[in-house]
Amino acid sequence: MLTMEELQTLINGENKDVIIMGDMNINLINFTQHRKTNEFLENNFSLGYMPLITQPTRFYQSQEKKDSATLIDHIWVNKQDVNAKSGIMIADLADHFGIFSIVQMSTKHKTRPISESYRSYNQTNLNLMNNLLDNTDFSSVLDLHCPDKAYTKFNEIYSEAHDIAFPLKTRQTPKKYIKRSPWISAGLVQSAITKSKLLLNKRPLGLKAPLLSK
């Protein structure tokens, strides 16, 4: 069975948009005090995944009668410019609040635009990201006593380093992926290719203009 990290790496190689959500039972607020949680965050960040839920999703009272909050319900995406509205639904149906993310998607056949934005997560950029984080002063995070504010501040620092190490670039889309007029089906395209080949065979040698027959 594949681990979550191995599965994410495999999917990233297929260049797909990914949304991972669920009750992970990993308290993201506790990343500074819990090594495994910190490793979980770093693994997701290194693979290009960012959290859409950044506020506590469960409140409870501990055995010491202290109020406590945890962020254990997650939504992760691997597309930084995803058009989504996410949030937390306060309800008393369970001891967890509900989470949601409304992502704008098209039910039509997916076609690629003339140009597209992307980030390169190659080893050189990963090394740059590691160097940036190694030389970052996190005292502004550690000095905060509120877990929510500390997590938000950390996310801001990380996002800034992420944009430097993995800048958003633009590349041209190959013509075969550009959307055609809706009435041009795959069959018409193949017929046009066949007709062009037959026309070339009919032309006399050296004739560049189309041959017109009466």
Specify the range with the lowest mean pLDDT, choosing from 19-23, 103-107, 152-156, 191-195.
Answer: 103-107
Say yes or no to pLDDT of 202 above 70: no
Predicted model pTM: 0.49
- Comparison of pLDDT for 196 and 42, the residue scoring more: 42
Q: How confident is the model at residue 212 (pLDDT cuts 50, 70, 90)?
A: very low
For every residue of 112-165, DSSP letters joined together read: B-SEEEE----HHHHHHHHHHHHT---HHHHT---HHHHHHHHHHHHHHHHHHH
Tokens at 31, concatenated: 């990343």
Mean pLDDT of all residues in 175-182 = 59
Specify the range with the lowest mean pLDDT, choosing from 34-38, 59-63, 94-98.
Answer: 59-63
List, in order of start, the domains of the chain with CATH numbers: 4-172 (3.60.10)
Q: How confident is the model at residue 13 (pLDDT cuts 50, 70, 90)?
A: confident
Task: Give Cα separations from 177 to 53, 173, 198 (angstroms).
Answer: 34, 7, 26
- Say what percent of the chain tops pLDDT 90: 36
- Comparison of pLDDT for 14 and 92, the residue scoring more: 14
Give backbone dihedrals phi and psi of 52, rounded to 5 degrees, phi first: -95, -20
